[in-house]
Amino acid sequence: MKRLCEVFFIAILIFCSCKNETASAPVQTLHDIMQADSASDIDKVVSLYADDAILIPSDRDDIVGIHAIRENYRNIFANSTLQLKATANEIIESGDLTIIRGNTTGNVISKKDSSSVAVNDKFLMMLKKQSNKWKIYRLMWSRKAE
């Protein structure tokens, strides 16, 4: 009986550690995109998106596909510096898809005049496994209500 309890306990530990590794991989992609944004690293940013990704900003048309996303970031990085931090408030995993609901805070600093705009947004990010890596598939965001 003692041996059965030990085996059961080890099985639970293995299951929990595997679950944590799975949960942390999509969240790592979230952290990686924030780090690449802050570094204005367009190649790293684009590498974190799926080829068929769609950005869904609240104040303009959708940005569809990896080429349009690259152009969007090229414009952002040419005109501003991002100092952002994201917090995951909820993570829902289902096979090769994960949804992260969270908040983004920080500042966008204009390269033209060094003015700063505070960011206090909420987001919904869907990631999918592509070539065994977690990639951003859909990303929707808007300003949080004050």
pTM: 0.81
pLDDT at position 98:
97
Low-confidence ranges of the chain (pLDDT < 50): 1-23
Query: For 25-143, CATH number?
Result: 3.10.450.50
φ, ψ for residue 145, nearest 5 deg: -65, 135
d(CA 27, CA 98): 9
d(CA 42, CA 70): 7
pLDDT at position 145:
77
Number of other CB atoms surrounding residue 95 within 10 Å: 7
- Of the candidates 47, 35, 42, 33, the one whose C-alpha atom is nearest the C-alpha of residue 139 is 33
What are the residue ranges spanned by the domains of the chain?
A: 25-143
